[in-house]
């Protein structure tokens, strides 16, 4: 279980190959799952249909993307437009932040923006963060900030990635506590969220 108690928020970043990886990772999420905030590099016209499919597949609700919205358990949040999304501590709990600023690490929405926003709130929140398949290095720096702040950080391994770019850069940056396949990341995620009691080996 995450240090100090179960993870309160799950943040995930992905790019090339991400839709399939996310679909597998979040399939039939257990009841009581913490909110999941996702940045997937995807063309805005395709984002809505992907988000709806992902929510149906996971059994979670699709949350509203609007600054100040309180994150709810059993809900998935995914940027539907070319906007950054992040999280921070609000008066009643973690909330969504939406930003129309310039690209970060070459992207908008940016995984680094999401991860850095979560890292800044680590004094108030317990975070599980996963960086999945994708080209480039978006998310590597943010994942390192999360690790340094006390988050449980994981990355998809080379063998299971469609493109081993972003996770490789995170490993090189020393940002990753554990690397593994999607089934392994699912197990670690459930453990960190207090939904599973052990870190048994998958496969």
In this predicted model, what pLDDT tens digit does every residue of 29-58 receive, in sequence order? 998 899 999 999 999 999 999 999 999 999
Does residue 172 surpass a pLDDT of 80?
Answer: yes
Residue holding tokens 């995170």?
A: 170
- Least confident interval from 49-63, 111-125, 150-164: 111-125
Classify burial at 127, counting beta carbons within 10 Å of its beta carbon; exposed 0-12, middle 13-18, buried 19 or more: buried
Residue holding tokens 């090189």?
A: 172
Domain locations in the chain as residue ranges: 9-192
Residue holding tokens 């923006």?
A: 113
Question: What does the pLDDT average to over 74-79?
Answer: 97
Q: Per CATH, is 9-192 categorized as 3.40.50.1820?
A: no
pLDDT score recorded for residue 1: 45
Backbone angles phi, psi at 94, to 5 degrees: -65, 140
Alpha-carbon distance 101 to 121, whole Å?
20
Of the candidates 102, 107, 67, 65, the one whose C-alpha atom is nearest the C-alpha of residue 88 is 67
Question: What does the pLDDT average to over 139-156?
Answer: 98
39's enclosing H/E stretch is strand 36-40
* Euclidean distance between the first and the last CA atom of the chain, given in angstroms as a whole number: 21
Give the pLDDT band (50/70/90) at residue 199.
Answer: low
Alpha-carbon distance 132 to 155, whole Å?
6
Classify burial at 197, counting beta carbons within 10 Å of its beta carbon; exposed 0-12, middle 13-18, buried 19 or more: exposed
Does residue 175 surpass a pLDDT of 70?
Answer: yes
Question: What does the pLDDT average to over 175-186?
Answer: 98
Does residue 177 surpass a pLDDT of 90?
Answer: yes
Give the pLDDT band (50/70/90) at residue 200.
Answer: low
Alpha-carbon distance 81 to 63, whole Å?
14
| Inter-residue contact 58 to 31 (CB < 8 Å) | no
Mean pLDDT across the chain, nearest whole number?
A: 94
Annotated active-site positions, please?
15, 41, 138
Tell me if the pTM is above 0.85: yes
Give the pLDDT band (50/70/90) at residue 123.
Answer: confident
pLDDT score recorded for residue 184: 97
Does residue 118 surpass a pLDDT of 90?
Answer: yes
pLDDT score recorded for residue 3: 53
Give the pLDDT band (50/70/90) at residue 82.
Answer: very high
pLDDT score recorded for residue 202: 47
């Amino acid at each position: 279980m995450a240090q100090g108690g179960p993870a309160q928020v799950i943040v995930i970043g992905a790019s090339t190959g991400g839709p399939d990886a996310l679909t597998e990772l979040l399939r039939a999420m257990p009841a009581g799952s913490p909110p999941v905030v996702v940045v997937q590099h995807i063309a805005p016209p395709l984002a809505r249909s992907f988000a709806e499919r992902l929510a149906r597949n996971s059994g979670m609700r699709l949350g509203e993307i609007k600054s100040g919205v309180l994150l709810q358990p059993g809900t998935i949040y995914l940027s539907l437009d070319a906007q950054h999304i992040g999280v921070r501590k609000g008066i009643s709990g973690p909330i969504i932040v939406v930003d129309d600023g310039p690209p970060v690490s070459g992207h908008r929405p940016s995984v680094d923006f999401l991860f850095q926003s979560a890292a800044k709130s680590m004094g108030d929140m317990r975070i599980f963060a996963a960086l999945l398949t994708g080209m480039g290095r978006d998310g590597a720096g943010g994942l390192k900030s999360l690790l340094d702040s006390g988050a449980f950080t994981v990355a998809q391994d080379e063998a299971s990635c469609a493109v081993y770019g972003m996770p490789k850069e995170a490993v090189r940056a020393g940002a990753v506590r554990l690397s593994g396949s999607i089934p392994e990341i699912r197990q670690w995620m459930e453990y960190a969220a207090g939904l599973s009691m052990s870190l048994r080996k998958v496969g």
